[in-house]
Amino acid sequence: MKTAIINTISATAVAVSAFTFAFAASPGTVLAADKLDVQYDLYTRGMRAFALNYSANIDRNSFRASAKLRPKGLASLFVDLKMDMESSGAVTGKGAQSDSFTMGVVEKGKKGKYSVSFNGLQHVSTRRQPAVHKKVEAKLDTASAAGTRDTLASIMDMAVSPAKNPCDASYRIYNGKEVFQLALRKIKDDVFGDKDGGVYRGPAIVCSITYSTLAGLSAKTEARYRKNPPEFKVWLAPIRSSALGRDMNVLVAVTGKIKGKDFVAYANKATLSGRPLNSKSMASR
C-alpha cells in the first residue's frame, strides 16, 4: 500500500496542482512563464509523516518540473524513504509530453536511479540502476508500449487539459521502475472553510482515484493490489489562472489508508508566482 500512496501523491495528488502555464494572449503577445510551488504534508495518527514538495516552471511551449518526497517528524526516525523526480518537455496541442525524466529513490538503504527518454507518448530508452530481470524488463516494455507519460509529464497534462470535469481522466504512467494506472471519478461538490486543513479556502470537487499496478512490482505485491486496488479521495479546487483566462484545478487535500491506517494530506504551502491561490487562501500555514 505504501507504493500506491507514494505513486498517487507524487503523480496525481501533486498532479492536478500544477495548473497553469503561459499562453499568447493575442498574436505577438506572450505572457511570462509561471512558477508554481506547492508543499503537501501527509499526516497519520495525527502526526506529520511525509512532506512532498513540487515546483514547476511553465511557459507557452514547454515545462520543467521537480518533486521531492521526504519523511518528517517522528517518521524520519523509523522510515528510510526518499524520492526525487525531474522532468522536462513540451506543451503541445495533444497535451504535455516529456523529453526526459529522472527519478532517484532511497528505501531501506537501497538506492535506485531511473532515467527515461520519450518521443511523444512512447518511451525511447530507459537506464536503471540496479538492473532488473529480463522478464521484468519485458513486462515493463509491453505495459508501457500502449502509450505512457512519466509521472511529472502526467502532472502537466492534467494541468493543461481544460476538461469540464477534472475527475474524468485516466493516466498510464511509466517512471522507469513501474508502469501503473490512475483512474479518477467524481464523487461530489464540496467547500473548504476556515475549519478545514491546509491553506486553501473555497469550493472544491471531490474525486476518487483508483491505483492499478501494471508491471514492475513483485508478483505477490501486484496480486495483492489487483485483488484490492487502493482507492483514495482527492479535493480539487478551481483556481483562476490569469495566463489562461479561466479556472483550472489545484489539488488541496487527499485521504485514504496506508497499511490499514487512515491518513490525510493537505496543501500547507501553495503559491503561484509568490501569491496565494486566491484572495481567501493563505500562502502557508
Task: Please report which confidence band the pLDDT of residue 17 belongs to, taking 50, 70 and 90 as the band edges.
Answer: very low
d(CA 64, CA 249): 19
Return the sign of the alpha-carbon dihedral for residues 245, 247, 184, 81: positive
Task: Please report which confidence band the pLDDT of residue 43 belongs to, taking 50, 70 and 90 as the band edges.
Answer: very high
d(CA 52, CA 86): 13
Q: Which residue has the cell 500562502?
A: 283
Please state the domain extents for the chain: 2-272
Contact yes or no for 83/10 (Cβ under 8 A): yes
Task: Please report which confidence band the pLDDT of residue 102 belongs to, taking 50, 70 and 90 as the band edges.
Answer: very high
Task: Please report which confidence band the pLDDT of residue 150 belongs to, taking 50, 70 and 90 as the band edges.
Answer: very high
In the numeric block, which cell numbers belong to residue 177? 521502475
The residue with greater pLDDT, 6 or 38, is: 38
CA dihedral 160, 42, 52, 277 (to 10 degrees): 50
Contact yes or no for 172/147 (Cβ under 8 A): yes
pLDDT at 16 over 80: no
The residue with greater pLDDT, 50 or 3, is: 50
Contact yes or no for 202/281 (Cβ under 8 A): yes
Question: Of 3-17, 82-96, 115-129, where does mean pLDDT reach its minimum?
Answer: 3-17
To the nearest whole percent, how much of the chain has pLDDT over 90? 52
